[in-house]
Structure 1
Amino acid sequence: MATIWEKFDKAIDTKALKEDVLAAQENKQEYRDVPKGHYEVKIEKLELVESKTSKPMVACWMKILSGEYKGQLIFYNQVIHVGFGIHKATEFLRSLDSGIEVTFDNYKQFYELLLNILEVIENKFEYEVDYGEDKKGYGTYVIKEVFEV
């Protein structure tokens, strides 16, 4: 029987995590905020979580694959308790080009949809993302290109 910890071992690159711990111990690891720009990324995490304000939220971690910020993460978080938020999240999910029809029926279905999309794209696709900011200061995330690995 699988435990919750086996789920984490599968979802998280523990080898890289151990290397991060060693680098932090040696004070060699310097993380700076990732500036707005174009990055080649892979999706590390894609799930439905509960926000700090107890609302359903799509959480996506995009790991930068090259350049000065290689190894750092860009975080996409979209609260989906109103129609506009669901629209923004579904548009982002469609841009990942998983081949899965992206629709929202209910939260249980949407949770399973995110798991299915991650299963299809994980280690199979990489993306060029335009990471920006709108006039209200909210992050924008536009997938410009999809690459098969």
Structure 2
Amino acid sequence: MGVNIWDKFDKEIDTEGLAKDVEEAAENGGRREVPHDTYEVEINKMELTTSKKGDAMFTCWMKILDGEYKGSLIFMNQVVMQGFQIHIVNEFLRSLVSEVQEGEKPDVTFKTYNQYNDVIMDVWEVIDGNFEYLLDYRENSKGYNVFEIKEVYVLED
């Protein structure tokens, strides 16, 4: 009788580490928790939506492009019901288009939610497939996640 095929896997794979990863994934709803750090990312999705409570909320999905967490997503979800919340999103949107030429750069301002949704879509159209970013993903003193674009990389055609 031949060698058990699973013996090969047990020898070559860190099964203890793998079992721990499975346990961790179960605790995080199947997603691997991405620690605060600096990552090179691309924007995969960006929209104005509603939170579970029904509040207006900006959401942005950022995919990590390299390193240990390559392929993982970082989610920015910011409720936009108060002035300071909209300001946070405005600053983030402006940083995404900082390398776009004047005249082609969307005017990132809030007047109404309908208009703001259009602004977000305009920013998305300008950046989609054209830029990658160096993201500083950290926590502020109050325990909230902070998403700061440190560098903008223009992709060549």
User: What TM-score results when the alignment is normalised by the length of structure 2?
Assistant: 0.74
**SS of equivalent residue, structure 2 residue 43:** strand
How far off is 1:43 after superposition?
0.4
What pairs up with 1:64-79 in 2 under 5 angstroms?
A: 64-79=64-79
What pairs up with 1:85-124 in 2 under 5 angstroms?
A: 85-97=85-97, 98=100, 99-124=105-130
**SS of equivalent residue, structure 2 residue 109:** coil
**SS of equivalent residue, structure 1 residue 92:** helix
Tell me the percent identity: 50
How far off is 1:44 after superposition?
0.4
Report how many aligned residue pairs link the two structures: 121
* Deviation larger for 89-98 or 32-41: 89-98
CA distance in 2, matches of 1:39, 1:102: 25
How far off is 1:145 after superposition?
0.1
Q: Which entry has the higher C-alpha Rg, 1 or 2?
A: 2
How far off is 1:32 after superposition?
1.9
CA distance in 1, matches of 2:128, 2:116: 18
The RMSD of aligned alpha carbons is 1.3
Structure 1 unmatched runs, 5+? 1-26
> Paired residue for 1:58?
58
Q: 1:137 aligns with which of 134, 139, 143?
A: 143
* Deviation larger for 30-39 or 43-52: 30-39
CA distance in 2, matches of 1:124, 1:81: 30
Instruction: Say whether 1:84 aligns with 2:90.
Output: no
**SS of equivalent residue, structure 1 residue 74:** strand
Runs of 4+ with >4 A deviation: none
User: What TM-score results when the alignment is normalised by the length of structure 1?
Assistant: 0.78
CA distance in 2, matches of 1:102, 1:112: 10
> Paired residue for 1:41?
41
What pairs up with 1:7-22 in 2 under 5 angstroms?
A: none
Structure 2 unmatched runs, 5+? 1-21, 26-30
How far off is 1:116 after superposition?
1.1
What pairs up with 1:17-32 in 2 under 5 angstroms?
A: 31-32=31-32
